[in-house]
């Protein structure tokens, strides 16, 4: 009897392992493949004859003399000035993270400590705001921004992204602040601090784990945004994602898809590094809202 259970669970384990293996391949292989292919010429990456060439790099060898080439990267970064888009992305992302977190910690702290009914209403309102498709909001901004000459500039996009991400930031930080014991700041206030002093002296030093996790998600939201950056920025202020989208329109005709491939790989690399270093925080952040709420 026990042998039977043992045997059955063994085959079950095998099925599960095969399943997980397939998932890993589905999740990881596309990235590996594209990264490898970004160092080839177009004739190999999109091989008419045999996709095996993408691995061996036959045409790359014929065209450039070695199995790997940096032509795609050179074309994207230098010829098509992708470096400028990367710089813009850096400015946008850093500003969005800093401003979002500043506003969010203040608001999230207040929501966590209020205990009044209106705090709950505000959280519900934030949930409704969180559900709004970004493009519907953008269609509300465009005309006023055109009229007031605010359209096209980085600060405009930054402020808009901060506001759009605020509901999410508030929810997340609110749930982190709920985990910091109330006694901490209340005892500081008994000792004569004002609410703000208590926040600054007592809460700020212990809030960093939550703030870092929320910051990671703000980073991702800003970095991955296409809707706002594609519609609110002019060509010279473009960030990486809309720049890549614009490659699709122009370079495919010129036969330079490899520029886009190289740009895609370049834009994915920072995200890889982010996940590598902050995997634990990302996992805890994803579950923060769910497991507790």
Residues 279, 216 contacting (CB under 8 angstroms): no
Q: Helices (H), strands (E): how many in the chain?
A: 16, 0
Tell whether residue 195 is a contact of other proteins (CB under 8 A).
yes
CA-angle at 19, arms to 13 and 21, nearest 5° = 100
Binding-site size for other proteins (CB under 8 A) equals 105
Residues 230, 85 contacting (CB under 8 angstroms): no
Tell whether residue 157 is a contact of other proteins (CB under 8 A).
no
Residues 266, 198 contacting (CB under 8 angstroms): no
Taking CB under 8 A as the rule, which mask of x and - marks residues 197-236 in contact with other proteins? --x--------------------x--xx-xx--xx-----
Tell whether residue 138 is a contact of other proteins (CB under 8 A).
yes
Is the Cβ of residue 65 or residue 157 nearer to other proteins in the bound state? 157
Integer Cα distance of 209 and 280 in angstroms? 11
Taking CB under 8 A as the rule, which mask of x and - marks residues 57-96 in contact with other proteins? ----------------------------------------
Q: What kind and span of H or E run contains 261?
A: helix 257-292
Quote the least distance from Cβ 21 to other proteins, whole Å. Answer: 9
Quote the least distance from Cβ 80 to other proteins, whole Å. Answer: 16
Indicate the burial class of 14 (C-beta count within 10 angstroms; 0-12, 13-18, 19 or more).
Answer: exposed
Give the tokens for residue 120.
Answer: 């709950």
Integer Cα distance of 30 and 44 in angstroms? 16
Is the Cβ of residue 69 or residue 288 nearer to other proteins in the bound state? 288
Quote the least distance from Cβ 76 to other proteins, whole Å. Answer: 13
Q: Please report, as residue ranges, which positions from 35 to 54 form the binding site for other proteins (by CB under 8 A).
A: 37, 45-48, 50-51, 54
Is the Cβ of residue 91 or residue 274 nearer to other proteins in the bound state? 274
Quote the least distance from Cβ 61 to other proteins, whole Å. Answer: 19
From the list 241, 282, 281, the residue with the least C-alpha distance to 264 is 241
Q: Please report, as residue ranges, which positions from 247 to 276 form the binding site for other proteins (by CB under 8 A).
A: 248, 257, 260-261, 264, 267-268, 271-272, 274-276
Residues 6+ apart with CB under 8 A from 33: 54
Q: At what angle do helices 240-254 and 82-114 cross, to 10 degrees?
A: 150
Q: Please report, as residue ranges, which positions from 5 to 24 form the binding site for other proteins (by CB under 8 A).
A: 9, 12-13, 16-17, 19-20, 23-24
Q: Please report, as residue ranges, which positions from 92 to 131 form the binding site for other proteins (by CB under 8 A).
A: 102-104, 106-107, 109-111, 113-117, 119-120, 122, 124, 126-131
């Amino acid at each position: 009897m026990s042998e039977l259970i043992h045997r059955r669970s063994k085959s079950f384990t095998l099925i599960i392992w095969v399943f997980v293996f397939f998932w890993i391949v589905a999740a990881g292989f596309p990235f590996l493949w594209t990264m490898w292919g970004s160092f080839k010429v177009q004739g190999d990456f999109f091989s008419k004859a045999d996709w095996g060439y993408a691995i061996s790099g036959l045409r790359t060898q014929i065209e450039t003399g070695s199995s790997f080439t940096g032509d795609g990267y050179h074309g994207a970064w230098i010829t098509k000035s992708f470096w400028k888009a990367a710089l813009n992305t850096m400015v946008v992302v850093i500003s969005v993270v800093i401003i979002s977190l500043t506003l969010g910690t203040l608001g999230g702290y207040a929501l966590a400590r209020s205990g009044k009914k209106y705090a709950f209403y505000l959280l519900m309102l934030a949930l409704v705001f969180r559900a709004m498709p970004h493009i519907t909001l953008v269609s509300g901004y465009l005309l006023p921004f055109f009229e007031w000459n605010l359209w096209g500039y980085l600060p405009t996009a930054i402020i808009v992204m901060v506001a759009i991400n605020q509901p999410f930031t508030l929810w997340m930080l609110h749930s982190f602040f709920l985990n910091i014991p109330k006694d901490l700041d209340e005892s500081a206030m008994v000792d004569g601090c004002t609410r703000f002093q208590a926040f600054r002296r007592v809460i700020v030093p212990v809030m960093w784990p939550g703030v870092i996790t929320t910051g990671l998600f703000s980073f991702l939201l800003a970095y991955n945004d296409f809707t706002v950056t594609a519609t609110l920025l002019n060509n010279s202020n473009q960030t990486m994602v809309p720049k890549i989208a614009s490659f699709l329109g122009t370079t495919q005709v010129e036969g330079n898809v490899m520029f886009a491939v190289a740009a895609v790989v370049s834009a994915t690399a920072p995200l890889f590094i982010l996940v590598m270093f902050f995997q634990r925080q990302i996992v805890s952040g994803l579950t923060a809202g769910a497991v507790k709420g």
